[in-house]
Amino acid sequence: MIETPNIIEFLEFFDFLRGYPAAYLVMLTATMILILRDWRWSILFLALQYLLAGFLFVDVLLPHLAFMKVLVGIFICLILYVTARQVRWGELPEDVTQEEAVQMRKERTVRLGPLVLPTGTPFRIFLALMVCLAVWAMAQRTGFLLPAAPGHLQLAIFALVGLGLVSLSITGEPLMAGLGLLTFMTGAELFYSALEQSAAMLGLLGVANLMIALVIAYLTQARHAYQALLD
């Protein structure tokens, strides 16, 4: 009979991800959420972000509490995925012909040498690089250090908060803006967890994240219904 590993054994197996590797990978997921426009990849990177953030929460929380954070995050990703599927988010309307679709794609792309990128992607890459440089600089300066948080956790907090706010501010689409807000919330929860380990407050923050996901789902559905009426 195969025994399922417990949380402690799971953490020991992935011990190489603890510390700075998890912080850098979390920064990478937040960067990809900012840059990418395909909701499938964005939600996938959000799920990876929650999984990797679990290795950071373990440094300031009991393992079972950190595991609950990951479960809440995965459930949030499922909510967003189902919502995007229901509204066929990102797909072309049924009355658009193949020729019109090809022309629209050409108008919405820009060529950089051998690369063909969606319009706005170069600007998003530039923003992401600027924020990452600012985050790295802040993590090196003692004047910006956060109390009661190790260096790798501070790097992750700065990255999630900064990249999340930028992702939230540069789009008016409820789904994509919501991914930025959820990224920001993960950074805020990491900061709070480094200061206070109250199980009750952590539970409230988990409920708040679920409520945010439901609001994002509602706004996405409402925007789709409004656009359908206009069409």
> Where are the chain's structural domains?
19-89+119-230
pLDDT digits (tens, 9 = 90+) for 60-77: 888 888 888 999 999 999
Can you read off the two tokens belonging to residue 183? 């990224």
Residue 57 has pLDDT above 80, yes or no: yes
Q: What is the DSSP letter of 14?
A: T
Half-sphere exposure of 104 (CA within 13 A, CB side): 9
Alpha-carbon distance of 203 to 199, in angstroms, equals: 6
- Top pLDDT among 40 and 89 is at 40
The overall pTM is greater than 0.75: yes
Higher pLDDT, residue 132 or 145? 132
Tokens standing for 214?
Answer: 């439901």
Give the residue, 105 or 170, on which the prediction is more confident.
170
User: Could you read off the pLDDT of 196-210 as tens digits, one per residue?
Assistant: 777 788 888 889 999
